[in-house]
Structure 1
């Protein structure tokens, strides 16, 4: 029996071994990668999990693979590695910016893609809205095989998937779109963002938007797309002032969460400014 006073750590030598270990430990087992959220559990007055399964020795989880029409991101890829790998790709700039500006340099060197997506108590995760606006999918491994889910579906299910499942990689399709990421920390770059907005658009030869994807994070407990703003952007040239005006008219789509860092109304009120900044970056 695992002691709840002194958590155990098993360093899995392979992906199969990690999945087996998590299945065997059941509800007592938790994957451990960068540990940037787990290590601060005492600060949040949370109890430690009795057993951790370390993923740091599984090389495949740290790979970034470029294919003809998509990119595969291992769940163990750090924010710093992700920002560097994607920095020259216009369609994936939202994700590169989200990874490159999250938290602070020390955290970016340790925090992982999988940890950012799998932490249900962290509404201010930068990678989540960026990946939502890029229509990302995730692979979930278990003893029964690998299941691919849209990120949106995974976020809705992640608290109820049960033990023995491990997010192993993220699939992001390439496209002719361009994307940008805007965030608002209250005081300094290392703060958690009060609100986040990621934007991806495709335009025709005249500059009119033919496809738009917008995702918002940190405003509500769960990051999500902004369908009405997406629809409003389509058919017109992309313009930062117009994007701000449209967002202002549609902010009642959100019910902001209250927190020690900011009240809910404030999180909602800054979204039009973030829409303007994201659109300006693409103009």
Structure 2
């Protein structure tokens, strides 16, 4: 069997050039490449051409203002974790970026790649950003627009052709955040399940607002709205959260995979939710 013809790699210097290249060829965007390079292992073909984003400066920026943080799509997990040091309100997102996969992957894998790869259900950054109510900026031939992350995830296979995700925007609200994941081993594995939380608490340490997102359990990460509602007015207590979460699992349909069956992914969610909330007590 003849080897597959290597794909063409294009390296535009501007976003406009990148979008034009996408339109002229049957090309796909390429950032860190950690998912693309394993395509042969998944028995998937490469695209005929890839448009590299590494030379477009604005895609690798993390910009922090008093109101929000804007994260370029080509920012790596490692760089994001470093950029968020000193911002306790983003402790959950920083942990997600700094604990995903392994150091080699974190130094290459990008924020945009995590969000755009629809077939990768175990992406740590997706639930971490979902619970922060993030929005994404999508650039295309007609200009740029902001889309809530939840809407983007539901429609990304239809939205992405001919477009490039350029950045993620998260408002700064002073909430407490946490991220809990269960890998099969201590490092290097995709997580079996992920729970990310963002909460506001009152002076009595009772939960006044909660956003909780679950990843790696189903094909697409999503909010756990039943648990969010059930925790309102409850004390910020990990054990109590675990107990409440245990009665709210019926809405999940866990995906089976080589690393874990679906039922197990669902079963560990209460403990992960409790662990995440417990970490907020000292925050």
TM, length-normalised to structure 1: 0.96
1:203 aligns with 2:231: no
Which residue, out of 79, 94, 99, partners 2:92?
Answer: 94
- 1:5 deviates by 2.4
1:162 to partner: Cα distance: 5.0
1:253 partner SS: coil
Matched with 1:139 is 137
Partner of 1:31: 29
- The 8 Å contact of residues 181 and 278 in structure 1, kept in 2 or not, is answered as yes
Which residue, out of 172, 175, 178, partners 2:173?
175
Describe the superposition over 1:177-227 as per-residue Cα deviations: whole angstroms up to 9, x where unpaired: 100000000123110000000011001112111110000000000000000
CA contact (8 A) 1:23 1:165 kept: no
The corresponding residue for 2:64 is 66
Structure 2 residues without counterparts, runs of 5 or longer: none
Query: Equivalent of 1:271, from 263, 269, 272?
Result: 269
Q: Which SS does the other structure have where 2:41 is aligned?
A: coil
Q: Which is further off, 79-88 or 211-220?
A: 79-88
Deviates more, 1:145-154 or 1:88-97: 88-97
Once residues 65 and 229 of structure 2 are traced to their aligned partners in structure 1, the CA distance between those partners, rounded to angstroms, is 30
Q: Distance in 1 between matches of 2:276 and 2:85?
A: 16
Partner SS state of residue 159, structure 2:
coil
Q: Does the 8 Å contact 1:24/1:164 carry over to 2? A: no
- Compare 153-162 and 260-269 and name the one that shifted more: 153-162
Q: State the alpha-carbon separation in 1 of the partners of residues 206 and 182 from structure 2.
A: 28
Partner of 1:161: 159
Moved more, 84-93 or 47-56: 84-93
Matched, 1:6 2:37: no
Q: TM-score, normalised by structure 2?
A: 0.96
Q: Partner of 2:81: helix, strand, or coil?
A: helix
Measure how far apart 1:251 and its partner are.
1.2
CA distance in 1, matches of 2:85, 2:217: 26
1:6-26 deviations in Å (ceiling 9; x for gaps) = 31011011111111111222x
Q: Which runs of 4+ in 1 moved over 6 A?
A: none
How many correspondences in the alignment? 278
RMSD: 0.9
